[in-house]
Chains A and B, each alone.
Chain A
Amino acid sequence: MKVTLKDIGKKYEGREEFTLKNIDLEIEDKDFCVILGPSGCGKTTLLRMIAGLNSITEGDLLFNDKRMNKVPSKDRDIAMVFQSYALYPHMTVYDNMAFSLSMRKERKKIINDRVMEAAELLQIKEYLYSKPSDISGGQRQRVALGRAMVRNPAVFLMDEPLSNLDAKLREHMRVELVRLHKALGTTSIYVTHDQTEAMTMATKIVLMNDGKIQQAGIPDEFYNKPANIFVAKFIGSPTMNIIEGKMIKGKFVSDDELIIITPSLNDTERLLAFEGKSVSVGIRPERFESGGEFGDTFTAKIDVVEMLGKEKILHVRLKNDSELIISTPGHYIYDENEEHSFGFDVESIHFFDTETGLRIN
């Protein structure tokens, strides 16, 4: 099912400001859409509005061109997995999964078939008759998924479902969820604050901040063409380096004049309009060239080396003590307190307008 949000806004009772405003979004059928953002950005509110748990103050919510604003949750053909799983503690796993169907007065046999099918798929057959308090966190997570699955919903909503699992299990469940999404062939909307989850699982990412959509698109765009400084800094670990400066005679000169960059040919044209204005340069840690034989270079002293195995993260300081993060392959040899010169991969530099934060190139 296609989900369309048209100019949606939300204002909570007793609040001065709108929590969400002017949200426009289209989620295609069978999309795995991840709504990403720091805590308090309104992403859960948005999901709850799609679920019908929060009212929509303004704008339209369309499911396949049908307006859903006033339709109660139970009639929206959705299922939701909650952060805390929200399993009914007084019911067995089986009853938890069967609950929504029995509320719809389905026949016992159909209920049984559906629950068994879901239990089979999620491998939770052994503890169908245990209470939620008797099973582990990972198992509860599966039961919560199963409870949502048995209804064959058209839209699958998930509110940070992996945040209570340990790191290993989370990694495993990520793949499992994508597989499940493909098997069910539903539209999934997934809320998280974890960029790794977003990048690995999504077919479409929506990054939100301050109640606004910052960028919506495929994961690759987010990494390689961030729309503004916020997106650039939010996506990617370690964080992208942002250097503030000015365009002087077609060259970027940092405020402290320690870094000078000659933009690539493509970028030069776009930057013409910004001659003499404040511009920020963003560069991913892995896009520095070590050795410094290529074009513009700068020298810096290595402060801290983080050894991660496949890569080394260097925290370096320029002469005026400002810090940059550089990532190099793990087998390169760097030591603390050494001075090195680094260059840039000019093609991969992101230019932003410092005033508006928007992308230039």
Chain B
Amino acid sequence: MKWFKKKNKLYLSDKQPLSTLGMIGLALSYVVLIAWVIAILWPLFQMVVSAFNGKQEQYLMLNDNFEFSFEHFKYLFSETLYLTWVKNTIFIAASTAILTLTIVSFTGFAYSRYRFKGRKASLMAIMLIQTIPTFAGITAYFTMHSIIGSLAPWFSRQMMLILIYSGGGIAGNTFILKGYIDSISTELDDAARIDGCSSMQVYRLIIMPIAKPMLAIIALWSFIGPFMDYLLPRVLLTNPKSFTLAAGLFTLISDFRTLNQPAFAAGGLLTAVPIVILFIVLQKQLVSGLAQGSVKG
């Protein structure tokens, strides 16, 4: 009876029913996808388990011995400069995000709304510069820092790092924001101007609130960047006290004097916390499409 009922179920999909070959194809796709998911989630899972596993010693061992403990976190906070690194990273990340947002706001708006000499050429130049990896400029950064450092001693290596991160971010993000502002009707600008706005006010009161979703994404990306990057801080920062999280944590797996792999796992796990917090804060902006309904519908 049950079988009969199932046969009679209404076919509601708009797609044509699958043929046998289609079924096999679908099954294969699922196999690939599930394998992919495992490949991503398994290491993450191992990291979480190891971070809380009191049975783990200096080296990570994949075995069944498990004892829940915060031992590795304790080690992280008492024996290493973890908190300093967190502070450094958040300082660098937040500064980068703020600097990038501010400058990109101006450049994106200007490139979208104003016509000026060299507009196309400079846009092209920005795009081409994107193709050069940041690391290629490392010697230049070194010389630049030594010159600036001798002129202004307060200009630390961390600030140099902030400049490099935001400088790299500005180029790409200008493009993205310009594209987004291009899609906002210029009649809104006109209306605002008649209503009494100056150019700055047009951006601040009208365009910026509409472009918020895009600005949120740019902020998130620029914030995440310094958390992910290992290479530049490793080269530029020399004092362990000024390390970022990535550079600092790496000392836990690269140097046999400080080797502690489970603590590395624990530190990695905690790294996610600030990013997740920012994500939650920006969530509303990230998912909204405000520009709808501004013009005719």
Contacts and interface: CB of A to CB of B under 8 A. Distances in A.
Interface string B282-297: 0000000011111111
Given A82-B187, A88-B206, A90-B210, A51 B297 contact: no
Contact of A89 (B190, B196, B292): B292
Nearest to B187: A86
Contacts of A137: 296-297
B106 to A, nearest CB: 20
Chain A CB count within 10 A is highest, among B196, B209, B210, B293, for: B196
Interface in A67-102: 72-74, 78-80, 82-90, 99-100
A164 B210 CA distance: 23
Counting chain B residues whose Cβ lies within 8 A of the other chain, the interface size class is 20 to 34
A79 to B, nearest CB: 7
A90 B295 contact: no
Nearest to A135: B293
A133 B196 contact: no
B196 to A, nearest CB: 4
A176 interface: no
Interface residues of A, number: 32
Interface in B182-237: 185, 187-188, 190-197, 201, 206, 209-210, 212
Given A13-B115, A74-B195, A86-B190, A131 B293 contact: yes
Interface string A100-111: 100110000000
B252 to A, nearest CB: 46
Given A74-B194, A99-B195, A133 B297 contact: yes
Contacts of B190: 48, 51, 53, 80, 82, 86
A256 interface: no
Given A13-B115, A82-B187, A87 B294 contact: yes
Contact of A74 (B115, B193, B206, B212): B193
Interface string B77-90: 00000000000000
Contacts of B293: 89, 131-134
Contact of B196 (A84, A85, A103, A132): A103
Contacts of A51: 190, 194
Contact of A104 (B187, B196, B290): B196
Interface in B147-169: none
A79 B188 contact: no
A104 B201 CA distance: 13
B260 to A, nearest CB: 50
Contacts of A86: 185, 187-188, 190-191, 294-295
A18 to B, nearest CB: 19
A99 B202 CA distance: 12
Interface in A23-71: 48, 51-53
Contact of B187 (A78, A83, A103): A83
B292 A133 contact: yes
Contacts of A80: 190-191, 194
Contacts of A53: 190, 193-194
Contact of B197 (A13, A78, A103, A134): A103
A103 B191 contact: no
Nearest to A133: B293
Interface string A118-149: 00000000000001111001001000000100
B193 A89 contact: no
Nearest to A159: B187
Contact of B194 (A79, A85, A131, A133): A79
B214 to A, nearest CB: 14
Contacts of B115: 13
Nearest to A76: B194
Contacts of A147: 191, 195
A216 B292 CA distance: 40
Contacts of B197: 74, 103
Given A85-B295, A85-B296, A90 B194 contact: no
Interface in B50-101: none
A131 B296 CA distance: 13
Contacts of A52: 194
22 contacts: A48-B190, A51-B190, A74-B195, A79-B194, A80-B194, A82-B187, A82-B191, A86-B188, A86-B190, A86-B191, A86-B294, A88-B191, A88-B192, A89-B290, A89-B293, A90-B290, A99-B195, A100-B196, A103-B196, A132-B293, A133-B293, A140-B297
The 4 closest A-B pairs by CB, nearest first: A133-B293, A89-B294, A100-B195, A84-B295
Given A84-B187, A88-B192, A132-B293, 10 more contacts: A52-B194, A74-B197, A78-B194, A82-B190, A87-B294, A89-B290, A90-B290, A131-B293, A137-B296, A140-B297
